[in-house]
């Protein structure tokens, strides 16, 4: 065991950080992992299964009655002390550290011998019905400590996957702060992570879709269900989620999602080959690219009929801008009258470094005086950000933070 120099908590030898306070544990030679190899007994001394080799009838450090007190004969037990004042090698009748009733080694009578082991269970490894703190020299034995409450199941560290017991503030392997992540793994029998009215029945669920396409944790949906980093569950460790990110509620048999003023928004995947109207300022996601649509108004003359000087507008219907920050815009692309395609390998706008974008991903075009966004059969889909609130179809996919969920109801 390694004792933390900051909070004095005992930690396993292979831990790098303290489970109590998160401080880095010393790694010098004095705290190197101890050997688990049993020491070789002296020549002629038989091995015994009790404790660390001490048979029940031979108290002390494993020495038989003929060699009590580290090899001293009975007449000189306890480093030369006579039997009436034995200390570390008393006759077999005095269990614990070998003290007889008249001269208990640490002041403890036979009922509390040694470190709490009764005479029949002498040694260092024998089971004892009561484990008491060793009394101070001449003092009374301390009362037995209360049995600790059973620990809940361990929690996997989100950083290194080490199983960390519930209640520990930090991962002992990598030092990850587990306090914010603890709510994601409530003990068995605890209520579901998302807060909901006790009288509200479960009407659906949000199923986490892992990057490999497999299903992960399922979050129950009630009549009204908040979602966010502070709610816990699979949302607790996603730093791209706001504390209160979105609200899901049922209206009759239909599910609706409302953006609760989040920073990064809620995105719903649009159907393939089905055009969706783009309103001014609409934001959509293609792979890892966040784009905003902005119309380009037709130039107007001044009050005196003077035209504004600028680049000629040959019927441009709008522009697409890369969103790279809260108030920051990256590259802008003008949308010609015939529309434009986006993709990783083909199209008018190419994102060659984004592996989540398909070769030909989506199209933005104008028709009947409206601008439309159409997914042209991409693998990972095109997602449109929710503005205010929006209905969610059964089986619809939603992006919140860096996680993908499917709405089941």
The residue that leads in pLDDT, 195 or 10, is: 10
Type and span of the H or E element at 397 = strand 397-400
Write b or e for each residue in 308-318: b if 16 or more Cβ atoms lie within 10 A of its Cβ, otherwise e: eeeeeeeeebb
Sign of CA dihedral 174, 176, 182, 184: negative
Q: Which fold does the domain 266-297+315-385 belong to in CATH?
A: Tumour Suppressor Smad4 (2.60.200)
Burial of 16 (0-12, 13-18, 19+ CB in 10 A): middle
- In angstroms, the CA 98 to CA 88 distance is 6
pTM for this prediction: 0.53
> pLDDT band at 320, cuts 50/70/90?
very high
294 token code pair: 């902005």
Distances (CA, A) of 162 to 11, 129, 257: 15, 34, 35
Distances (CA, A) of 38 to 47, 51, 259, 383: 11, 12, 63, 63
When computed from its CA atoms, the radius of gyration of the chain, rounded to whole angstroms, is 36
> pLDDT band at 159, cuts 50/70/90?
low
The residue that leads in pLDDT, 19 or 283, is: 283
The residues with which 155 forms a beta bridge, in sequence order, are 164
CB-CB neighbours of 404 under 10 Å = 21
> pLDDT band at 43, cuts 50/70/90?
low
Residue 190 has pLDDT above 50, yes or no: no
Residue 99 has pLDDT above 50, yes or no: no
> pLDDT band at 113, cuts 50/70/90?
very low
- In angstroms, the CA 248 to CA 392 distance is 9
Asked if 228 and 234 touch (Cβ cutoff 8 Å), the reply is no
144-158, 234-248, 300-314, 370-384: least confident range:
144-158
Asked if 246 and 221 touch (Cβ cutoff 8 Å), the reply is no
């Amino acid at each position: 065991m390694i004792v933390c120099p900051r909070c004095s908590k005992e930690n396993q030898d292979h831990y790098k950080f303290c489970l109590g306070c998160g401080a880095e544990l010393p790694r010098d030679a004095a705290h190197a992992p101890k050997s688990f190899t049993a020491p070789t007994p002296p020549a002629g001394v038989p091995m015994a299964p009790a404790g660390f080799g001490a048979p029940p009838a031979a108290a002390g450090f494993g020495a038989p009655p003929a060699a009590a007190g580290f090899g001293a004969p009975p007449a000189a037990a306890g480093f030369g002390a006579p039997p009436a004042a034995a200390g570390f090698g008393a006759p077999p009748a005095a269990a614990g550290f070998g003290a007889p009733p008249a001269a208990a080694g640490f002041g403890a009578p036979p009922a509390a011998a040694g470190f709490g082991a009764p005479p029949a269970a002498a040694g260092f490894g024998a089971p004892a019905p009561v484990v008491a703190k060793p009394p101070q020299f001449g003092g009374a034995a301390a009362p037995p400590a209360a049995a600790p409450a059973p620990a809940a199941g361990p929690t996997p560290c989100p950083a290194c996957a080490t199983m960390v017991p519930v209640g520990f503030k930090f991962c002992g392997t990598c030092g990850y702060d587990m306090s914010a992540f603890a709510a994601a793994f409530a003990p068995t029998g605890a209520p579901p992570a998302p807060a909901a009215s006790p009288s509200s029945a479960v009407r659906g669920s949000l199923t986490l879709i892992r990057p490999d396409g497999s299903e992960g944790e399922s979050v129950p949906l009630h009549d009204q269900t908040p979602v966010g980093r502070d709610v816990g569950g699979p949302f607790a460790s996603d730093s791209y989620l706001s504390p209160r990110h979105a609200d899901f509620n049922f209206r009759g048999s239909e599910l609706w999602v409302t953006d609760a003023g989040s920073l990064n928004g809620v995105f719903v995947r649009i159907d393939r080959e089905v055009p969706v109207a783009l309103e001014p300022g609409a934001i959509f996601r293609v792979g890892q690219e966040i784009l905003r649509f902005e119309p380009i108004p037709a130039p107007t003359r001044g009050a005196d009929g003077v035209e504004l000087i600028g680049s000629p507008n040959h019927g441009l219907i709008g522009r697409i801008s890369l969103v790279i920050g809260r108030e920051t815009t990256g590259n802008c692309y003008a949308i010609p009258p015939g529309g434009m395609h986006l993709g990783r390998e083909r199209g008018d706008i190419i994102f060659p470094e984004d592996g989540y974008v398909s070769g030909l991903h989506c199209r933005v075009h104008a028709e009947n005086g409206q601008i439309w966004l159409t997914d042209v059969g991409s693998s990972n889909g095109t997602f449109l950000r929710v503005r205010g609130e929006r209905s969610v179809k059964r089986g619809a996919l939603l992006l919140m933070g860096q996680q993908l969920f499917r709405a089941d109801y």
